[in-house]
């Protein structure tokens, strides 16, 4: 391996001068710089980043925990975070936790001490019990996309999920729906609360029995829950799905039960991926500011690397928006006939 020392000898300078040329931190006389650059090119010198990291104390790498990359929402978050990091000259170390706290714990242990400059944790699922571990960690931690109760002591950039649920509920109320069902992941209690609040404000109760939890956050799990929901109460005129995968399942369930969307059934979703790669182009959905959230989280983390954030800033709540699609309409004539 070619080292700085080799370059220095070739150029007839000391390695400190080579370092000055490479890092650009200190000005170097043009003639010297040219000699050094020529030597670098001739020898094919490439700086050893690990040695630099040891000397500077920075790896220029940030860790990201997400539950999975197979859910469109998190796939987008990963790419947004990667973009933001790349622009700032950082690498991305990815860990998927698969809703498994023990797995997250192992990953965290592997990241101990100085292998990343900071850690971003997107999504609270399966992690809340393991938060105390984060206190021992040597680098700043920023939480995002956090729906569980917000822990103290960590910077958080997240979405107002209650508001998101409320937007979905109000949309259905404005269309005139009264009897609705909810398809939810167990972790999405806050969105469900917001949704029910919208109905409550109009004097309508969405009963507990109308909330159907998907056993697993998969298409299959969602499909079963959706079929159950529509069979339990065939008179519902609309379905609220708390995330994108469940929404796809809801569409499929409607098809299976021969209810056309939106004529026979409205479907509104949370976490829609409107320009994504999936088949939900026309879904009415609450879209989350993924890009904004990712960038703010990255900025906060990089800032915390150089300047400890004392005191910890309060949580930043970004507002979701409702994007109208063609999956919702006024309740159809079938409403109440069954």
Partner DNA sequence: CTGAAAGCGCTTACAG
Interface residues with DNA (CB under 7 A) are 1, 3-5, 13-17, 19-20, 22-23, 25-29, 31-33, 45, 47-48, 51-52, 54-57
Instruction: Answer with the entry of DNA, a second copy, none that 223 interacts with (C-beta below 5 to 8 A by kind).
Output: a second copy
Tell me whether residue 175 is exposed, middle or buried, using C-beta atoms within 10 angstroms of its C-beta: 0 to 12, 13 to 18, 19 or more.
Answer: middle
Determine, following the binding rule CB under 8 A, whether residue 76 of this chain makes contact with a second copy: yes
Is 14 or 312 the residue whose CB approaches DNA more closely?
14
Q: Any idea what DSSP says for residue 325?
A: -
In angstroms, what is the minimal distance from the CB of 173 to a second copy?
27
Query: Coil, helix or strand for 184?
Result: strand
CB nearer a second copy, residue 6 or residue 79:
79
State the nearest-atom distance from the C-beta of 232 to DNA, in Å.
Answer: 58
The rounded distance, in Å, linking the Cα atoms of 207 and 174 is: 19
Residue 96 found at the interface with a second copy (CB under 8 A): yes
Least CB distance to DNA at residue 103 (A): 25
Q: How far is the CB of 19 from DNA (least distance, A)?
A: 3
Q: What gap in Å lies between CA 183 and CA 258, rounded to an integer? A: 18
Interface map 24-63 toward a second copy (x if CB under 8 A): --------------------x-xxxxxx-xx----x-x--
22 vs 131 by CB, closer to DNA: 22
Cα 259 to chain centroid, rounded: 33
DSSP state of 315: P
Segment holding 239, helix H or strand E? strand 238-241
Distances (CA, A) of 227 to 183, 230, 267: 10, 5, 14
3-state secondary structure of 335: coil
Q: Distances from the Cα of 232 to the Cαs of 164, 260, 292, 338, in angstroms?
A: 26, 18, 39, 12
Return the residue of 94, 135, 215, 319 that touches a second copy, per CB under 8 A.
Answer: 94
In whole angstroms, the minimum distance from the beta carbon of 104 to a second copy comes to 12
The distance of closest approach from Cβ of residue 268 to a second copy in the complex, given in angstroms and rounded to an integer, is 17
Residue 257 or 278: which CB sits closer to a second copy? Answer: 278
Residue 218 contacts by C-beta under 8 Å, 6 or more apart in sequence? 245
Contact status, residue 113 vs residue 137, Cβ threshold 8 Å: no
Positions touching a second copy (CB under 8 A) are 1, 44, 46-51, 53-54, 59, 61, 68-72, 75-76, 78-79, 82, 86, 89, 91-96, 98, 106-107, 110-115, 136, 138, 217-220, 223, 245, 248-249, 251-252, 275-279, 281
């Amino acid at each position: 391996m070619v080292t700085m020392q080799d370059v220095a000898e070739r150029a007839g300078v000391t390695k400190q001068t080579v370092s000055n040329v490479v890092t650009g931190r200190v000005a170097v006389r043009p003639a010297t710089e040219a000699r050094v650059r020529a030597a670098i090119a001739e020898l094919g010198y490439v700086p050893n980043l690990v040695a630099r990291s040891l000397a500077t104390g920075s790896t220029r790498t940030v860790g990201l925990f997400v539950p999975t990359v197979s859910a469109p929402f998190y796939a987008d978050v990963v790419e947004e975070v990667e973009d933001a990091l790349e622009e700032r000259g950082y690498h991305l170390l990815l860990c998927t936790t698969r809703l498994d706290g023990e797995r997250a714990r192992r990953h965290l242990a592997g990241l101990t001490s100085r292998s990343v400059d900071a850690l971003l944790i997107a999504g609270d699922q399966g992690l809340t019990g393991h938060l105390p571990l984060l206190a021992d960690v040597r680098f700043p931690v920023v939480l995002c996309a956090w729906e569980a109760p917000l822990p103290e002591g960590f910077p958080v950039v997240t979405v107002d999920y209650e508001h998101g649920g409320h937007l979905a509920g109000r949309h259905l109320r404005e269309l005139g729906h009264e009897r609705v069902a909810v398809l939810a992941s167990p972790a999405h209690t806050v969105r469900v609360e917001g949704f029910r609040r919208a109905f409550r404000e109009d004097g309508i109760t969405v009963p507990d029995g109308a909330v159907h939890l998907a056993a697993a956050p998969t298409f299959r799990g969602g499909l079963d829950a959706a079929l159950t929901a529509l069979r339990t109460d065939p008179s519902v005129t609309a379905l609220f799905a708390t995330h994108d995968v469940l929404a796809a399942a809801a569409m499929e369930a409607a098809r299976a039960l021969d209810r056309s969307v939106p004529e026979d059934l409205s479907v509104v979703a949370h976490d829609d991926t409107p320009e994504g790669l999936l088949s939900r182009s026309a879904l009415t959905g609450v879209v989350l500011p993924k890009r904004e959230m990712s960038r703010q989280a990255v900025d906060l983390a990089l800032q915390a690397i150089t300047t400890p954030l004392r005191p910890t800033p309060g949580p930043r709540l970004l507002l979701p928006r409702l994007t109208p699609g063609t999956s919702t309409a006024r309740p159809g004539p079938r409403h109440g006939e069954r």
